[in-house]
Chains A and B, each alone.
Chain A
Amino acid sequence: MNQIHCRINGSPVAISSPGTRRLLDVLRDDLGLTSVKEGCGEGECGACSVLLDGKLVNSCILPVLAVSGGDILTLEGLRETERGRCIIDAFAETGAVQCGFCTPGMVMAAAALLFEHSDPTEQEIRIGLSGNLCRCTGYDMIVSGVALAAERGRGLW
């Protein structure tokens, strides 16, 4: 067992767990943060995306010990912020959501992208989302959602 201290959605958290346990399992099973989805369990689909110190990571292949001292943001945290609301609204408005299973991960990827490029081109958006698989939308409307969030949220990013 390892003792891990980190911040999750702004609050300090102490976790007692085997260090190689997947961050995904800790977030979902121990903390009830179920916006974080498991789509593949091997870092290929991005449904489990969260931010670690502002960077997009796949929580399904991150051992919990590796986030020691880190700051983790899930959609449960992001949706309480103005930035989060801006992306969520833009997604809802542009038809970026279909089955919704990839959507929380997409929103996190969009946030990571916008934190870095406040005014991304279409190509930059596509690159930013390229690790998040969606089988429903064919991506175009998600790309529009991110572009709308960038435009609407000017000053937020």
Chain B
Amino acid sequence: MNDSISNPVRRVDAYDKAAGYAQYLADMKFEGLLYGRLIRTPVSRGVLTGVELPEMPEGYRYISAADIPPGGENRIQMIKSDWPVFVSDTVRYLGQTVGILTGPDRQRLHELASKITVHCRTQEAAYTIEEGLACRGGAIHGDDNLFADFHLKKGDPEAAFSQADRIVEDTLETGFQEHVYMEPQGITAEWKEGKLVFHASCQCPFYIRKAVAPSVHMPYENIIVNQTTTGGAFGGKEHFPDVIASALAVAVYVLRRPVQVIFDRREDMLYTVKRHPSQVLFRTALDAKGRITAMDIDARLNAGAFESCSPIVLQRTIFSANSVYDIPNVNIRGRAVATNTVPSDAFRGFGAPQGIFAAEMHMSHLARELGTEESEFKRKYFLAKGGKTVTNGTVREEVLLEQMWSRAAELSGYYEKLKAYPPGSYRGIAPAFYLHGGGFTGSGEQEIINGKVRITGSKDGSAEILLSNVEMGQGTATTFSKIAARVLDIPLDRVKIANPSTARVPDSGPTVASRSIMVVGKLVERAASQLRERWGGTSDESVLVQYEHPPWIRWDQETLQGDAYPCFSWGVCIVEVSVDPGTWEVETLGVWTGHEIGRAIDEAIVHGQVIGGVNQALGYGGLEKLELSGGGFAQHTLADYSIPTSLDFPKVTSFLVENPYEYGPFGAKGAGELVFDGAAAAYAAAVQRAVDRKVERIPATPEYIMEITEA
């Protein structure tokens, strides 16, 4: 066995979790704890006219906008601050926070909460992208309901369209998706020696600190956020914890007692953020030989009631709208549309899955139209080193998709199965290709985050990594430790890493954007190597390093032109299905995936990411129907919202191809989101081949498959 860093180790958190010792927020004890229940609006849009409260027994309080301390502002500081802590007049979505009811006994609290009546004057609401674009009921945001309206241009699409032999149009749609982290959202806040201290199940402790500061008018140094062991997040705990924390901040500021809010699962499913539904319209120009000469793309995301991070999600969508293909002339418009639904927000992939689903399915539709085998058609357009992206950035790495394709095709028996299952045979197999840009978009790492990491070495020979990226299941506690142990040349168990506290760790940035290993891991590597130079394991030493931008990156944030990402990770996924001709139920017979993520810091952890990501994506593609119903969601229990069980999908075959990246630790690039990006499209394309009908949206439920086959 070689000594590659990729060789799997036992995860540092595995034993405590498997033996039930790990303490999540709900397992922790707080002296004198009060419980909090958020009181919500009963309508999607309107004006708050009053709140009727029952008589409050001693120890129970209702806290709302009127309780915001002097100097405090009724706003949550995310990227923008349009989202108020408490509704004071305008209501934008069903279940928006009006107040927080606190008290010592949950039974009593529940009884009191059910006696509170929130009165609103109702206005006509807009729920869908179409209704948002039409400003149904009047604009919610600005005068056009657009949180963002971006335009990209590559080559000369107008000229290409004017010379087109024919033009093919297509509309692809994706639905809402719920994160279903197994641990629901929860935060406890307390007042300690003049400081406001949060214990939060979250991805971004420093985001919470920033978010709550304006509402209680306190300086950062008096606000501490401790991440608690986090039972899954997937993007759902990137910004949403800010919403709970802000209400808690005001409550604790007033009460000076610890208050805990833990969502019940239904509450979590109804009132927390979701993946953006999308609509992507394609117009593609073909020449007389059936070659693509240009694309015109119009992408729309349902952003929900407040801006949150929707413009940045939208950037990912449009930057991914050509997937792995080099199309010479492209016009792209992207719009993030305000509606009266719960705000849409970060979810693994962050807009890329929508763009890639659309691009892959459109390419698949073109292949159908042209009578060309799908993989052959797609492979003709693969990006290559030196190729140009839709932002006119440059692909700087060797693109190994051909090699990955050959291997995946061989493992799956793709070509044999293609022959064996002609279109319409109710068996189908299909590929999807995808990529994911590593790290923050554009100059975000340099200009917004500028992450710092500290490593301290102690005289007992142990080292501690101090950074703000959290372990939420994805394995960073282990991978960061491996990087440091390897560079410092000490055993893994001599490296310590704890759940971060903003009072203790430097801000290495949020746990998002597949940046943790590639960007922050690089900082760990650099800090460790600097520490190694002056620490022999017998003294106390400390090293702080700061992010350095790769020098070649050219990016203009105003025009969205240049290298949107320093590098890409790449993937291929093949899915084989059979469709029941009587019920249109889909049985997934096989899933084969290959990924190029530079180098894996730990192969077992990466495979865990692959299999988990692929299952989540197959759920997105086939099972996870989440429909609006009166401004809320029709499927708001785990009985009705179907995430995959152990029996829904077969064992996933997964392989990795190495292609080390200079600016990642040991050559590593991002992996966590990439592995989600492609499987839904492969699934949909396999179903499409099985029933020989165009699949234009996901989830491709049996109901939908029936509609297209029986149409």
A93 to B15, CA, bound (A): 9
**Which residues of the other chain, B, contact A142 by a CB distance below 8 angstroms?**
646
**Which residues of the other chain, A, contact B651 by a CB distance below 8 angstroms?**
122, 140, 143
A131 to B17, CA, bound (A): 19
> From residue 47 to 103 of chain A, which have CB atoms closer than 8 A to chain B?
47, 74-76, 79, 84, 87-88, 91-93, 95-103
A137 to B234, CA, bound (A): 12
Tell which of A28, A92, A98 touches B612, judged by Cβ atoms closer than 8 Å: A98
> Which among A28, A84, A92, A99 has the greatest number of chain B C-beta atoms within 10 A?
A99
Please encode chain A, from 22 to 48, with 1 for each CB lying within 8 Å of some chain B CB and 0 for all others.
000000100000110111111011010
> From residue 1 to 27 of chain B, which have CB atoms closer than 8 A to chain A?
8, 10-11, 13-24, 26-27
Tell me how far the C-beta of A130 lies from the nearest C-beta in chain B, rounded to whole angstroms.
5
Closest residue on chain A to residue B24 by CB atoms: A101
A39 to B263, CA, bound (A): 10
**Which residues of the other chain, A, contact B420 by a CB distance below 8 angstroms?**
none
Tell which of B18, B27, B179 touches A34, judged by Cβ atoms closer than 8 Å: B27
B638 lies within 8 A of A42 (CB)? yes
Do A136 and B608 form a contact, CB below 8 Å, given A79-B20, A100-B473?
yes
Tell me how far the C-beta of B545 lies from the nearest C-beta in chain A, rounded to whole angstroms.
28
Do A42 and B265 form a contact, CB below 8 Å, given A79-B19, A88-B18, A98-B608?
yes
Interface size range on A against B: 35 or more
Closest residue on chain B to residue A85 by CB atoms: B19
B20 lies within 8 A of A138 (CB)? no
Please encode chain A, from 116 to 151, with 1 for each CB lying within 8 Å of some chain B CB and 0 for all others.
000000100111011111111111111100000000
**Which residues of the other chain, B, contact A141 by a CB distance below 8 angstroms?**
604, 607-608, 611
User: B647 an interface residue at 8 Å Cβ cutoff?
Assistant: yes
A130 to B27, CA, bound (A): 25
B612 lies within 8 A of A42 (CB)? no
User: A114 an interface residue at 8 Å Cβ cutoff?
Assistant: no
Tell which of B11, B472, B646 touches A143, judged by Cβ atoms closer than 8 Å: B646
Tell me how far the C-beta of B602 lies from the nearest C-beta in chain A, rounded to whole angstroms.
9
A47 to B647, CA, bound (A): 17
User: A107 an interface residue at 8 Å Cβ cutoff?
Assistant: yes
A101 lies within 8 A of B611 (CB)? no
Tell me the dominant secondary structure on chain B's binding face.
Answer: loop
Interface size range on B against A: 35 or more
Do A101 and B20 form a contact, CB below 8 Å, given A39-B183, A45-B182, A130-B646?
no
**Which residues of the other chain, A, contact B10 by a CB distance below 8 angstroms?**
92-93
A99 to B14, CA, bound (A): 9
**Which residues of the other chain, B, contact A91 by a CB distance below 8 angstroms?**
14, 18
User: A104 an interface residue at 8 Å Cβ cutoff?
Assistant: yes
Tell me how far the C-beta of A35 lies from the nearest C-beta in chain B, rounded to whole angstroms.
3
A35 lies within 8 A of B20 (CB)? yes
User: B184 an interface residue at 8 Å Cβ cutoff?
Assistant: yes
**Which residues of the other chain, B, contact A122 by a CB distance below 8 angstroms?**
651
A98 lies within 8 A of B22 (CB)? no
**Which residues of the other chain, B, contact A37 by a CB distance below 8 angstroms?**
24, 26, 182-183, 231
B638 lies within 8 A of A44 (CB)? yes
**Which residues of the other chain, A, contact B614 by a CB distance below 8 angstroms?**
138
Please encode chain B, from 107 to 148, with 1 for each CB lying within 8 Å of some chain A CB and 0 for all others.
000000000000000000000000000000000000000000
A95 lies within 8 A of B183 (CB)? no
**Which residues of the other chain, B, contact A102 by a CB distance below 8 angstroms?**
182, 231
Closest residue on chain B to residue A108 by CB atoms: B20
**Which residues of the other chain, A, contact B264 by a CB distance below 8 angstroms?**
41
B652 lies within 8 A of A140 (CB)? yes
> From residue 585 to 621 of chain B, which have CB atoms closer than 8 A to chain A?
604-605, 607-608, 611-616
A143 to B647, CA, bound (A): 11
Closest residue on chain A to residue B645 by CB atoms: A130
Known: A125-B646, A126-B646, A135-B612. 4 other contacts (CB 8 A): A97-B13, A133-B643, A137-B608, A139-B615
The 6 closest A-B pairs by CB, nearest first: A35-B20, A99-B473, A101-B231, A100-B17, A138-B615, A138-B611
Could you write out 16 A-B pairs with CB less than 8 Å apart?
A28-B27, A34-B20, A34-B23, A34-B27, A39-B184, A39-B638, A42-B639, A45-B265, A47-B182, A92-B11, A99-B473, A104-B18, A133-B645, A136-B612, A137-B608, A138-B608
